[in-house]
Structure 1
Amino acid sequence: MPLTGIRVLDLTRLLPGAFCTMLLADLGADVVKVEEPIGDYMRWAPPLVDGQSALFNALNRNKRSLTLNLKSEAGLELLLRLAERSAVLVEGNRPGVMERLGLGWDVLHARNPKLVMCSITGYGQDGPFASRAGHDINYVATSGALGLNGDRDGPPVPLSVQLADVGGGGLQPAVAILGALVGVERGGPGRRIDASMMDGAVSWLALALAARGGGEHVSRGDQRLAGRHACYRIYACKGGGYYSVGALEPKFWAALCEAIDRPDLVELQFAEGPEGVRAHAAMESVFASKTRSEWEAKLAGLDVCCEPVLELDEVASHPQVAARGLISRAHTGVEVRPAVPLRPDWRRLDPPGLGEHSAEILSEIGVGDERLAALRKAGVV
């Protein structure tokens, strides 16, 4: 695997950091999830599978679990010894917490000059909001992404996917970590990565901000790719269900207009104002005339960029999703494979039980059975 031999210490909780380190673990990294003795509280979030959260399991495959009380002197020293033998440390505390624990960048860098430290926070390491509490909905609200989501005349609607958590706090930090590791491999020093979930959400608005900066009107429910044009929106079908239309290119729109017997709409692809209203109303009427299944049959095989809007329970059985082997059910719950296919043996470990690998991991830094027993008795492990 590409990251075999790379050890990553994961001190995060909940979704963002867990998603980030799962990406690295799936690529072969030895991810050690370092938890307080009481554990990451996502472990207990319902629904449970054999006493452990299905949500936790979905984010923590291919990892090992070590419990350490980092507020104890012995726990702190053990973590530092592990950091000396690791390539990456990922943490998700508010700015200043790692320094108060004795695990600040200066300390870690001195112990291991090649270490890459990634700090994932809501608003970053500096600025007036740096120490502010928040969750995904707050970060996307501040970024402007939430304000753009919803109908033109309605309120903002929360996104069903945690854009800031997964994008800004998971995917983008993982990319930054991989880049930093390449730098170290080329002879450079380790580095501190300041990953902000709000920053990540803002970066995904590059096109909307560019359009607005260029003088285009951009608002909730009135954007090129969010409701402005009849050729790119969602339509209700007869009897329930919805259909997505993404016929942006003229050839696709013309083919769709031909398929629905409305050649008069070809010239109204990007119409606005009264003509745009007419185009929207016509398309709404057309799609309301048939059921979703009937539209699937009618449009099947045509190059029109139209697909049914699936409900969550329909996704796994969709022929393309099934053919790609994206979703499976394991004894630990439903699991989604890596988005980019890896070699067949990519899944090496089940999501770990709390402290399942503590003895194994500590033995790798010279902690024997007698010392481990003493650490357990003292509440360090």
Structure 2
Amino acid sequence: MVNRPLSGIRVLDFSTLLPGPLAGLILAEAGAEVIKVERPEGEEIRRFVPRWGDDSIHFALLNRGKRSVTVDLKDPGAAARLEPLIRDCDVLIEQFRPGVMSRLGLDYERVRAIRPDIVYCSITGYGQSGPKSQVAGHDLNYIAETGLLALSHGSAAHQVIPPALVADIGGGTMPTVLNILLALIGRQRTGEGAYIDIAMSDAMFTYAWWAYGMGHAFGDWPGNGDSLLSGGSPRYQIYPTRDGRFVAVAALEQKFWDELCDLIGLERRLRDDSVDPAATIAAMRAIFGNRSSEDWAAVFEGRDCATNVVRTLAEAAKDPHFLERGLFDHVLENQAGQRIPALVVPVAPQFRGPAATPGRAPTLGADNDLLDGSVRQ
């Protein structure tokens, strides 16, 4: 018997693109009924490319198992039309700039007048207050504004764009899910709802924990690629191999470092990497560049050295370890019946629905009957 802990929780989701929709997906995977409120033409990510069936693959991945209603929020009667849903929902998520929901007649105070114990969550780049609250931005802007990007952005000749949307997911999605769950627990105890102000930029300081510790405690503010975890150490570094691939070294602990040095035959005089880190890095680059990634993978196999070959996404998706863990067992299906693995979400398997049951993203306005006050699933 699957224990889906959020069964019976209804979420009204006004958000678009990534942070809010991914938060809604996580809640839905844990059993919540998530209802997307979309403009009559649908949210913009539906029309992104590449298409997979009727909608974009991005929309399909983020909205598996949700429902959809369409409302023109600029219509004077929109707020009244949404009242039946608001009255029967537990959580509301919105991702507009500060002040927009108020202009639409759907701000926290007015929603709370309809549903007093509502958990109302607003997601923005810089929060509901402060000088930057109305500033537009995306992930790259938020990590740049908070100093996180300055820790490792490459050189003037070769800038590095981070591969993960840290602000969107780590500053938007995850804090949203965490705080909604905390608010729901609080509501169980007190009967009171909550207003939650999530600023994607805020959590970027959390991600720079080590750098801010050095700066605040010792006045030693790390720069671009010059610290232990950002490229300044031979022990935490990416090295190219002879065949154009890369090796990821994270041998921070001395036992891992000693093992790695023995395996690659690093000169004794360079093993104390505190003496001349640049010289040690240069020597290791030369060593790793002399052999192929396949050779190095064989060298590291079964050895405790916290070092491995950088795999492609395609290789990782076929890795026996991740397959055995069941990460790709859940199924996403489009309107044509095509199936692919659903997006991996950080919800424990025992809290999700059966993996073998395919889930679909909702067709636009498929659940407009809910606007008449239809009962929950």
TM-score, normalized by length of structure 2? 0.90
Counterparts in 2 of 1:48-63, with a 5 A limit?
48-63=51-66
Tell me how far apart the structure 1 counterparts of residues 145 and 221 of structure 2 sit (CA, whole Å): 20
Could you say which residue in structure 2 is the equivalent of 1:39?
42
Could you say which residue in structure 1 is the equivalent of 2:264?
260
Tell me how far apart the structure 2 counterparts of residues 217 and 17 of structure 1 sit (CA, whole Å): 33
Could you say which residue in structure 2 is the equivalent of 1:362?
371
Tell me how far apart the structure 2 counterparts of residues 124 and 226 of structure 1 sit (CA, whole Å): 28
Tell me how far apart the structure 2 counterparts of residues 35 and 82 of structure 1 sit (CA, whole Å): 14
CA displacement at 1:342 relative to structure 2: 1.7
Find out whether 1:122 has 2:125 as its counterpart.
Answer: yes
Per-residue Cα deviation, 1:34-92 (whole angstroms, up to 9, x for no partner): 11111111001000011210011111112111111223344321312211111100000
Aligned residues of 2:84 and 2:373 also touching (Cα < 8 A): no
Could you say which residue in structure 1 is the equivalent of 2:97?
94
Tell me how far apart the structure 1 counterparts of residues 326 and 157 of structure 2 sit (CA, whole Å): 38
Could you say which residue in structure 2 is the equivalent of 1:369?
none
Could you say which residue in structure 2 is the equivalent of 1:303?
304
Could you say which residue in structure 2 is the equivalent of 1:374?
none
Q: Classify the secondary structure of the residue corresponding to 1:19.
A: helix
* Identical pairs, percent: 36
Aligned residues of 1:92 and 1:121 also touching (Cα < 8 A): yes
Q: Which stretches in structure 1 are left out of the alignment for 5+ residues? A: 367-381
Tell me how far apart the structure 2 counterparts of residues 110 and 76 of structure 1 sit (CA, whole Å): 13
Tell me how far apart the structure 2 counterparts of residues 63 and 242 of structure 1 sit (CA, whole Å): 40
Equivalent of residue 213 in structure 2, options 206, 210, 215:
210
RMSD: 2.0
Q: CA 1:97–1:346 in 2, change beyond 3 Å: closer, same or farther?
A: farther
Equivalent of residue 151 in structure 1, options 151, 154, 167:
154
Instruction: Indicate the larger mover: 334-343 or 157-166.
Output: 334-343
Aligned residues of 2:90 and 2:119 also touching (Cα < 8 A): yes
CA displacement at 1:134 relative to structure 2: 1.3
Q: Which stretches in structure 2 are left out of the alignment for 5+ residues? A: 335-339
Tell me how far apart the structure 2 counterparts of residues 72 and 14 of structure 1 sit (CA, whole Å): 22
Could you say which residue in structure 2 is the equivalent of 1:17?
20
Could you say which residue in structure 2 is the equivalent of 1:379?
none
Equivalent of residue 344 in structure 2, options 324, 337, 349:
337
Q: Classify the secondary structure of the residue corresponding to 1:199.
A: coil
Q: Classify the secondary structure of the residue corresponding to 2:190.
A: coil
Q: In structure 2, give the amino acid aligned to 1:292.
A: S
Q: Classify the secondary structure of the residue corresponding to 2:247.
A: strand
CA displacement at 1:113 relative to structure 2: 1.2
Could you say which residue in structure 2 is the equivalent of 1:239?
243
Q: CA 1:112–1:283 in 2, change beyond 3 Å: closer, same or farther?
A: same
Could you say which residue in structure 2 is the equivalent of 1:278?
279
Tell me how far apart the structure 1 counterparts of residues 333 and 194 of structure 2 sit (CA, whole Å): 39
CA displacement at 1:364 relative to structure 2: 4.0
Per-residue Cα deviation, 1:146-172 (whole angstroms, up to 9, x for no partner): 222233665652212111111111111
Tell me how far apart the structure 1 counterparts of residues 53 and 8 of structure 2 sit (CA, whole Å): 31
Q: In structure 2, give the amino acid aligned to 1:56.
A: F
Q: CA 1:191–1:340 in 2, change beyond 3 Å: closer, same or farther?
A: closer
Q: Classify the secondary structure of the residue corresponding to 1:194.
A: strand
Equivalent of residue 29 in structure 1, options 3, 7, 32:
32
Per-residue Cα deviation, 1:147-202 (whole angstroms, up to 9, x for no partner): 22233665652212111111111111110111011110102411111101111223
Tell me how far apart the structure 2 counterparts of residues 188 and 228 of structure 1 sit (CA, whole Å): 51
CA displacement at 1:363 relative to structure 2: 4.9
How many residues in Structure 1 have an aligned counterpart in Structure 2? 362
Q: Classify the secondary structure of the residue corresponding to 1:31.
A: strand
Tell me how far apart the structure 1 counterparts of residues 254 and 353 of structure 2 sit (CA, whole Å): 44
Per-residue Cα deviation, 1:281-328 (whole angstroms, up to 9, x for no partner): 111111111100110011100000011111222221122222223236
Could you say which residue in structure 2 is the equivalent of 1:375?
none
Tell me how far apart the structure 1 counterparts of residues 133 and 221 of structure 2 sit (CA, whole Å): 31
Q: CA 1:290–1:13 in 2, change beyond 3 Å: closer, same or farther?
A: same
Q: In structure 1, give the amino acid aligned to 2:349.
A: L
Could you say which residue in structure 2 is the equivalent of 1:353?
363
Aligned residues of 1:94 and 1:131 also touching (Cα < 8 A): yes
Instruction: Indicate the larger mover: 309-318 or 320-329.
Output: 320-329
Aligned residues of 2:62 and 2:343 also touching (Cα < 8 A): no
Aligned residues of 1:149 and 1:156 also touching (Cα < 8 A): no
